Amino acid sequence: MHELRTAPRQRRSQKSIDAILDAAEELIHERGQVNFTANELSVAAGMSIGRVYYWFPDIPSVVSALVERSVDRLTESFSSILSDTAGLDLLGSLQRGVDAMCGFVEQNPSSVALVVSGGENAPGYLLFDRLFALSQQLIRTNVPDASDGEVLLVARTAVGITLGMMRGYIQAGEHRHLVKQELVYVLSSWLHARYPPAGDRAWTDPSYPIRPARMPVMLGRTVTTVHPPLGVEQP
């Protein structure tokens, strides 16, 4: 948790803090990395550098506060998907997840740069960790009999694909809807191959070239356990 130099006591004070974070958001988005000075931040925020330092002791504290705000917003974006799953299948959850992710990135354009730069010690690792955790939660909900190792593998793959395409999404301007749809195509094709529904030929045709992992469930309905074709290894 970051620490402000001064605790805000009025709504006007919170607006100053939000202005600083919004300015940092835009600078990171424009440059693709955390690389700006306090003077540049103060100009972008439309306030004196002394006012910036009144609230934050240094630039890393600003970035930490921005990441925490993004984490809160990301969690809120996915809250309805995770809490209201009745009647949704895996692909239905996927579509809602992509919608939520795109909306989040539009509101927080620095998030992709923060997540993809650096490792565990990078400023955006907390944001990556929350995105990874939310992805695991969605997979466990839709594929409840998946092993821990399988959940980790699928979540990491999903996050990697999504972040890679989100970099193009935030730069696509009026064509963002095309990138968004392409992301749905890519993720849905991959998940369908891995978790085909009941009745898919992958479960009955031994010559089908792509072997499935297991069957997903329709949330809110009775789950029927169906074993994969003989010879399909369970993770």
Q: Domain limits at 195? A: 66-203
Other beta carbons within 10 angstroms of residue 2's beta carbon come to 15
| The residue to which tokens 């074993």 are assigned | 227
The pLDDT confidence band at residue 232, using thresholds 50, 70 and 90, is: very low
Q: Which of the listed ranges 114-123, 136-145, 146-155 does the model predict with the highest average pLDDT?
A: 146-155
Specify the CATH number for the domain of residue 75. Answer: 1.10.357
State residue 9's pLDDT score.
Answer: 52
For 132-146, the pLDDT digits (tens) are 999 998 888 888 888
End-to-end CA distance of the chain: 37
Instruction: Note whether residue 22 is domain-resident.
Output: no
Number of domains in the chain: 1
The CA-atom distances, in angstroms, between 217 and each of 80, 201, 223 are 19, 17, 6
Residue 233 reports pLDDT greater than 50: no
Instruction: Note whether residue 34 is domain-resident.
Output: no
- The radius of gyration of the chain's CA atoms, rounded to the nearest angstrom, is 21
Angle, CA 148 vertex, CA 189 and CA 219 arms, to 5°: 55
